[in-house]
Every structure is written in C-alpha cells, then in structure tokens.
Amino acid sequence: MRTEAPPPLSANPVVRIASDLLSERAARGTFPPGPTDFNFRRTRVMARDPLSVLLPLYREYGPIFSVRLLHARVVFMLGPEANRFILVEHPELFHWREGSFGDLIPLLGDGLLTIDGAYHDEARRIMMPAFHREQILAATEVMFAEGEAALAGWRPGETVDLYHWMRNVAMRIAMRALLGLDPDDRGQGALAAEHFERALSYYGIDFHKRLLRGPGSPWRSMQRSRAKLDEIVYAEIRKRRAEAEPRRDILGMLIAARGEDGEGFSDREIRDQVMTLMFAGHDTSTSTLTFLMYELARNRAARERVVAELDEVLGGRRATPQQLERGLPELGMAIDETLRLYPPAWIGPRRAVRDFEFGGYRVKAGTYVNYSSWASHRLPEVFPNPEAFEPRRFEPARKAALPRGAYVPFGGGSRICIGKRFGLTEVKALATLILQRFRLEHVPGHTMRIRQMPTLSPDGGLPVIVRERDA
C-alpha cells in the first residue's frame, strides 16, 4: 500500500559485522574522542552494568564520545541537549532500522520500531486513533479484571515473585487488549502467549549465542515460535476481516484504519505492527510496576503518601479511568521517579544517515549513535542526588523547571512512545489494586540486580513478601 516498505536487512551476523567494519573504515578520523581499542572486558562490563561505563566517559569527555563495544565503534550522546538534538531537533538525521533495532526484524518484521521516514510516519498516522484516550479508557476494564483475578491468589505471609507475576498479567492484558485473544484458550491465546515469551527470550541471551544458527540454536527456536505466532495472528486477522462489524480492541482498530487515500494496512503490515506493540509494551510495563513496588517497599514515607492518597481519593473503590489519568498525583510522581531511575527502554539506538555536528565534533553518516535515558537521568548536575528515590522532584513546578530533554523515559518528538498512555494506565491500575490491598516487603538477604537486555528488569525476578496492608 501507499509509500513503499523498506528493503529487507540481512540477518546474517557475518554480513552485519563486515558491513560495520567497512562503514567504520569509511568514517576514519572523524569520531568524537573516547576509548576505541578492542577491549573484551569493557564490552562485558557494558553488558552487565552500562552506567559504570557511560557515566565516567561522560565525565571525562562530555556529552558526546565514542566507545568500542564488541567489534563496533559507537557514539553515545548524553544529557538534555543531546536528547533534544536526537529526538526533537534533528530526528531526520537518524534511522532506527539500521541501528540495533534492526536486530528485531527477524521477529517483529516492519513495525513502528524498525521503519523510518515517510513509511513510518504514514503507518503511525494510521495507528494513532487506536491509542486515543477513549480507546485506552476502554482497555482499563481489561487491566482491572486481569489484575483483580491475579491478586485473588495472594495470601499474606507468602513470597511472590512480583516480576514474573506482573509479566504474566501484562501478557494476558496484551493478548486481550491488543489482539482480542482469550489467554485461557489453549488453542489460541495461551499458545500465542507461550510462543511470544519463547521468541522474546532470544533477545535476552548473550550476543554471541544469538549469532549461532545451527539446529538446536536459540535462533532456530525463535524462528519456530515466530512461525507458530504467525499462524495464530494471520488466522485471527482473516477471521476479523470476514466479520461485518470491526471489534473495538487494537487489532480491530488496525484492521479498520485507513490512510488519507482510503487504503488500509495489508495483513502482513498488521501482523508486523501488532507484534511490535506486543514487544514494546510487554516488558516495559512489567518492569515499571516491579521497580515502583521495589522502591515503595524501601521508602516508607513515599509509600505512605501514595497509600494515603488512594484512601482519600478512592476509599477502597476501583479508580475510574479519569482518576487514573490525573486524579492520583502522588502515585503519578512515584511512577515518574521510578521511570527516572529505571527507564525500561534505557537506550535509543540509531544510525546516522547524514553527517552532522554536535558539541564541536563532526560525526559521519553510517555511524552508530545512541542516546540513553538511563545515563542521562543519573547526571547529578541535572538531577541532584541522582541515586535517591525522591518522587517530590516531580512536583508540577519542579518538573516544569527541568531543562527540556532532561527526562525522556518515553523518548520524545515525533516518535515518542505511541503506547505511553496505555503503559501508564496499566501500571497505575495495577499499582492501585496492589497498594489498596497489600504491603510488600523485601525478602531479607535478597539483593536486586538489574539486567539490561533487552529492557531493564530485575535479574532473576523480584521476590517480595506479601503482608496485609495495615499490619
């Protein structure tokens, strides 16, 4: 339909590495300063604890620097000005597809995360109505129903892995609200959820294991799950097209949506877009809720303020969609602060498509360029005492006084997260349900370690002890 889809990218790792090295040769002599020796240790530390690499480099070199990771020399740009430059002032200089988002194409195809330019903008325009306020408000019913059912099994005194609990709830919500599939239907919804999780796990394993292609490799297993998912999603699309009335979930909206010329998405485009939405929306909401509960369990005063607000505003009832949107400011600030400390989509990988200048350095077309919300949110000159959980930083006047581009947990500009309202509504709905009923306590002796692939999450989950709320 409409604007032409971009050509496929090679998923062959040898071709990728060779092309990266050639492109680096072409840009020789023009990289911003920074350590660019081949250093296996740095790559390993970066995979485990990127802040410990990025923040010292920022202090040494300033808001733009180079660093070699694995075989490739990449440029990082950090801080409010850099974020603004990439996201708002010059998005046309960068592509997502040729950056490391391209690695997602074998599973996601050509959805919003892996396309650029006119093709992206047109797809986004067609999809926007599916994310309007009314549409998200309708999904809150699903969010509450799933949350309440999943909490019914919690008993005071028991230990629950909050991360895995939420992952399961978020997957069920996504199945219903995005795809309209019943997660309890063994033939369809449950199978789709299972294969989606399996396919996703490919992106959480070490890079070198992702390069293997033979029988029994993680790649093959991801391909098998992708094929199964395709079968289910295409069957659902065919079924929907045969129905007289479009349904009101997001898949239904995408099938009914039309561009300016009256043309809609093809089956393949719909499949790629819904897979992308599932991918982008699942881990991110899961991690946000988990880190929020982690911090509230450690910060008694902050938790008490949120709980007092819930009592006062809701008095034990479910929040209305309007209350979720703007009627619970204490909860809102606690979530803002959680997303500052742990922005799940912590890195914005891009590739420069034209030469540009920033901070006194010239960067060549073809260079990998990343911004990082996580590192930018930890700069002490922007967020004093950056390690501390202080929701009050996000009181309206203080939030408005932050430099533009300082706080970017949802990205920014014309490609800001399309699911922002959906994700925030989901996290708030589930947080109200948990906090109205329970108090969560850390398990003595357990240390939370952060894993950063593909999104920030607590490594190995987050066990918590469930207590009665007022005990």
Enumerate binding residues for ligand HEM (CB under 6 A): 112-113, 124, 276-277, 280-281, 284-285, 288, 339, 343-345, 348, 409-411, 415, 417-419, 422-423, 427
Residues 275 and 107: their CA atoms lie apart, in Å, by: 8
Q: Quote the least distance from Cβ 374 to ligand HEM, whole Å.
A: 10
Q: Quote the least distance from Cβ 348 to ligand HEM, whole Å.
A: 3
Q: Which two tokens stand for residue 209?
A: 């294991």
Residue nearest to ligand HEM (CB): 419
What is the phi/psi pair of residue 64, to 5°?
Answer: -135, 130
Q: Quote the least distance from Cβ 159 to ligand HEM, whole Å.
A: 25
Q: Which is nearer to ligand HEM, 369 or 465 (CB)?
A: 369
Q: Which is nearer to ligand HEM, 112 or 363 (CB)?
A: 112
Three-point CA angle 102, 106, 109, nearest 5°: 75
Q: Quote the least distance from Cβ 336 to ligand HEM, whole Å.
A: 11
Q: Quote the least distance from Cβ 95 to ligand HEM, whole Å.
A: 11
Q: Quote the least distance from Cβ 290 to ligand HEM, whole Å.
A: 11
Residues 97 and 117: their CA atoms lie apart, in Å, by: 10
Q: Quote the least distance from Cβ 149 to ligand HEM, whole Å.
A: 20
Residue 393 contacts residue 67 (beta carbons within 8 Å): no
Q: Which is nearer to ligand HEM, 77 or 466 (CB)?
A: 77
Q: Which two tokens stand for residue 21?
A: 């090295």
Residues 180 and 44: their CA atoms lie apart, in Å, by: 41
The DSSP line for 434-448 is: HHHHEEEEEPTT---
Q: Quote the least distance from Cβ 254 to ligand HEM, whole Å.
A: 12
Q: Tokens 């890195």 correspond to what residue? A: 347
Q: Quote the least distance from Cβ 180 to ligand HEM, whole Å.
A: 14
CA distances from 427 to 50, 270, 304, 408 (A): 26, 26, 18, 18
Residue 341's CB is within 10 A of a number of other CB atoms, namely 22
Q: Tokens 């903008």 correspond to what residue? A: 121
Residues 172 and 460: their CA atoms lie apart, in Å, by: 21
Q: Which is nearer to ligand HEM, 63 or 454 (CB)?
A: 454
Q: Which is nearer to ligand HEM, 427 or 466 (CB)?
A: 427
Q: Which is nearer to ligand HEM, 281 or 458 (CB)?
A: 281
Residues 274 and 254: their CA atoms lie apart, in Å, by: 9
Smallest Cα–Cα separation from 453: which of 103, 192, 216, 164? 103
Q: Which is nearer to ligand HEM, 72 or 166 (CB)?
A: 166
Which residues have a Cβ under 8 Å from the Cβ of 243 and sit 6 or more positions away? none
Residues 387 and 377: their CA atoms lie apart, in Å, by: 10
Residue 93 contacts residue 352 (beta carbons within 8 Å): yes
Q: Quote the least distance from Cβ 344 to ligand HEM, whole Å.
A: 5
Q: What single letter denotes the amino acid at residue 278?
A: M
Q: Which is nearer to ligand HEM, 219 or 291 (CB)?
A: 291
Q: Which is nearer to ligand HEM, 183 or 409 (CB)?
A: 409
Q: Which is nearer to ligand HEM, 275 or 465 (CB)?
A: 275
Q: Which is nearer to ligand HEM, 251 or 297 (CB)?
A: 251
DSSP summary character for residue 20: H
Q: Quote the least distance from Cβ 289 to ligand HEM, whole Å.
A: 8
463 beta partners: 161
The DSSP line for 384-395 is: SSTTS--GGGGS
Q: Which two tokens stand for residue 264?
A: 């809609």
Q: Which is nearer to ligand HEM, 411 or 454 (CB)?
A: 411
Residue 444's CB is within 10 A of a number of other CB atoms, namely 6
Q: Tokens 């790792």 correspond to what residue? A: 13
Q: Quote the least distance from Cβ 49 to ligand HEM, whole Å.
A: 20
